[in-house]
């Protein structure tokens, strides 16, 4: 594959190349198709917003159902409450519906999926240098209007000694330029070479 066998001289910027992105230390890129680019790492199950909050809420529901029908009072104050089985089931149905909406929202919206289950990586070279596996690292690519839809694509690393990071979006390869911080360059294929 071409993108795996590149040398530093192959990703030299063209004179007409325009850099896009953020000057405040965020990700930058070349190519006019992309309007937004962020690198994310999948959160562990305990840190995901579709797991831990709902485990706590289901635990609260189980406690309320286990104590339903009994008087729960605080001695000396005289407070008591009684949870009817109807309200316990109603609460369970509402909780399951909210959980289902969160899961469906991740299916419908890439940005929502990233907000619920991923952490943002600010500096790719610094934060990913020591990683052996990149299975949990994704790039959120937001294209220009009428140029496709946002995608969460996998970040790869070449197996050559230079270990270069790259991703593919709409059949175009973007390579992390190690000479500049947080800059993904679109590969310009050598079209001037003879066949």
- pLDDT number for residue 116: 93
- pLDDT number for residue 74: 54
Domains identified in the chain, total number: 2
| Full residue range of the structural domain in which residue 37 is found | 2-6+22-44+113-186
**Which of 111, 128, 143 represents a domain boundary (last residue)?**
111
- pLDDT number for residue 64: 78
Between helices 110-117 and 85-108, what is the axis angle to 10°? 120
**Same domain for 106 and 117?**
no
Sequence-distant (6+) residues with CB within 8 A of 95 are: 54, 57, 58, 61
**Same domain for 27 and 58?**
no
**Which of 111, 133, 161 represents a domain boundary (last residue)?**
111
**Same domain for 121 and 107?**
no
Report yes or no on 107 lying in a domain: yes
**Which of 56, 86, 111 represents a domain boundary (last residue)?**
111
**Same domain for 148 and 107?**
no
Average pLDDT per 10 consecutive residues for the chain, totaling 195 residues: 45 50 59 80 88 93 76 53 72 94 95 92 70 74 87 82 78 78 75 78
- pLDDT number for residue 83: 61
**Same domain for 139 and 176?**
yes
Report yes or no on 194 lying in a domain: no
- pLDDT number for residue 52: 92
**Same domain for 118 and 177?**
yes
The rounded distance, in Å, linking the Cα atoms of 102 and 182 is 32
Report yes or no on 12 lying in a domain: no
Q: Where are the beta strands (DSSP E) in the chain?
A: 19-21, 28-30, 34-42, 72-73, 80-81, 118-121, 137-143, 151-154, 156-157, 165-169, 172-177, 183-186
pTM higher than 0.85: no
- pLDDT number for residue 138: 86
**Same domain for 27 and 82?**
no
**Same domain for 117 and 103?**
no
Report yes or no on 50 lying in a domain: yes
**Same domain for 118 and 173?**
yes
Report yes or no on 63 lying in a domain: yes
């Amino acid at each position: 594959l071409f993108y795996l066998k590149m040398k530093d001289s192959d990703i030299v910027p063209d004179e007409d190349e325009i850099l896009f992105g953020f000057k405040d230390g965020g990700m930058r890129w070349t190519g006019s198709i992309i309007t937004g680019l962020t690198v994310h790492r999948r959160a562990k199950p305990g840190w995901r917003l579709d797991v831990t909050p709902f485990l706590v809420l289901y635990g609260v529901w189980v406690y309320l159902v286990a104590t339903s029908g009994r008087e729960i009072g605080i001695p000396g104050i005289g407070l008591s409450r009684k949870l009817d089985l109807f309200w316990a089931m109603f609460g369970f149905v509402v909780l399951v519906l909210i959980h289902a909406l969160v899961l469906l929202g991740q299916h419908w919206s890439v940005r929502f999926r990233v907000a619920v289950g991923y952490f943002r990586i600010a500096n790719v070279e610094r934060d990913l240098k020591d990683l052996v596996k990149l299975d949990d690292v994704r790039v959120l690519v937001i294209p220009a209007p009428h140029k496709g839809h946002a995608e969460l694509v996998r970040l790869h690393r070449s197996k050559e000694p230079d270990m270069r990071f790259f991703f593919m979006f709409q059949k175009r390869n973007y390579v992390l330029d190690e000479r500049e911080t947080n800059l993904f360059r679109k590969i310009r294929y050598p079209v001037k070479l003879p066949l």
